[in-house]
Amino acid sequence: MIRLSIPLRQALARLSLPVLIAAAFGTMLLGKADALIAERARVALADLLAPFYAAFAGPAQAVRDTVAELPELYALREENARLREENDRLRRWQAAALALEAENALLRRQLAFIPERAPSFQTARVVADGGGVYARAVLVAVPPGVQVRRGQVALDERGFVGRVTEVGSRSARVLLATDMNSRIPVTLEGSRARAMMVGTNGARPRLQHWAEGTRPEEGERLVTSAEGIAFPSGLPVGVVRWSAGGVPEVELFAHLDRLDVVRLFDFGLGGILPPEAVARPEPRARR
């Protein structure tokens, strides 16, 4: 180190700031005069610092991930609270269900209740719609050797579709619930009142002939009724909808406009069979 006298050193210290400020102006001029120098210096510095940044990238990413996880953790907490609340509610329902099940078992023992046997059914593919004498009917393909009877009930995966009216050796025709000729006895699930569901050839059959004092409620579920021994009771049919004109209509559960596959149930019921399709009268032979 060069030994300097104290006054000289003080003078240098006092001078260094003005000199450096002048140098700063010089730097500015240099950067303005030759932009390439600044660029080159930046690139060199970036080269120098690249390993440092590379080493720093790992921890920085970890910190960033942690920060990004915080809202997720908060959401998780909220979700947890919601799930716990829901769990409590479901537990109450489970208790209620178990109690009802026990009560049900008890009552069945008391009444010597005979459980219904599981109905047999065949699943058949819908191959054509329309045709025949009915406006709303579908033709299902039945493989040969499968026994299909008239009066069997057709359901899709959601609910009631119609009844089998004609049976051929390889096919069967199903009269849909929307057809004008369809009359289905139904039960209003809430009030247990009986009514008739009458097809109109429209998308929604109407509800008629309900008992006085049991007005069908909007949104009430309808199931089939065993009245007339044509149907078993309790097959899901649809929901009551009051139309704008004040007519109770039925929004069917089944999607009758896009039927692919129907299940043909054999409940072993005779009852009222659907009428045979009326054959067209032969034109009278000319005399």
Partner 1 sequence: MVGRPEPSPGLLRRLDALARACLPAGLTAVLLVLAAGPSGVPALVPAVVLPQVVFWSIFRPAAMPPPACFALGLLADLLTLAPLGTGVLTLLVAHGLSVSWRRFLARQTFLFVWLAFCGFALGAAGLGFVLTAALQWQVPPFAPALHQAVLTAGLYPAFAFLLGRLHAVLLRAEEQG
Cβ proximity to partner 1: between 53 and 93 the closer is 53
Cβ proximity to partner 1: between 43 and 128 the closer is 43
Residue 56 is a binding residue for partner 1 (CB under 8 A): yes
The token pair at 159 is 């609910």
Question: Could you say which residues in the range 26-45 bind partner 1, by CB under 8 A?
Answer: 26-32, 38, 41-42, 45
Q: How far apart are CA 92 and CA 95, in angstroms?
A: 5
Residue 63 is a binding residue for partner 1 (CB under 8 A): no
Least Å distance between CB 96 and partner 1?
A: 54
Q: How far apart are CA 222 and CA 191, in angstroms?
A: 10
Least Å distance between CB 20 and partner 1?
A: 5
Residue 4 is a binding residue for partner 1 (CB under 8 A): no
Least Å distance between CB 157 and partner 1?
A: 53
Q: How far apart are CA 141 and CA 123, in angstroms?
A: 10
DSSP string, 144-210: TT----TT-EEE-SSSEEEEEEEE-SSEEEEEETTSTT-EEEEEETTT--EEEEE--SSSS-EEE-P
Residue 102 is a binding residue for partner 1 (CB under 8 A): no
| Site of tokens 């065949």 | 122
Residue among 9, 11, 16, 211 that touches partner 1 (CB under 8 A): 16
The token pair at 281 is 């009268």
Residue 50 is a binding residue for partner 1 (CB under 8 A): no
Q: How far apart are CA 283 and CA 32, in angstroms?
A: 108
In 3D, which of 187, 140, 194, 134 has the Cα closest to residue 167?
140
Cβ proximity to partner 1: between 61 and 87 the closer is 61
Least Å distance between CB 50 and partner 1?
A: 11
Applying CB under 8 A, which residues contact partner 1? 16-17, 20-21, 23-32, 38, 41-42, 45, 49, 52-53, 56, 60
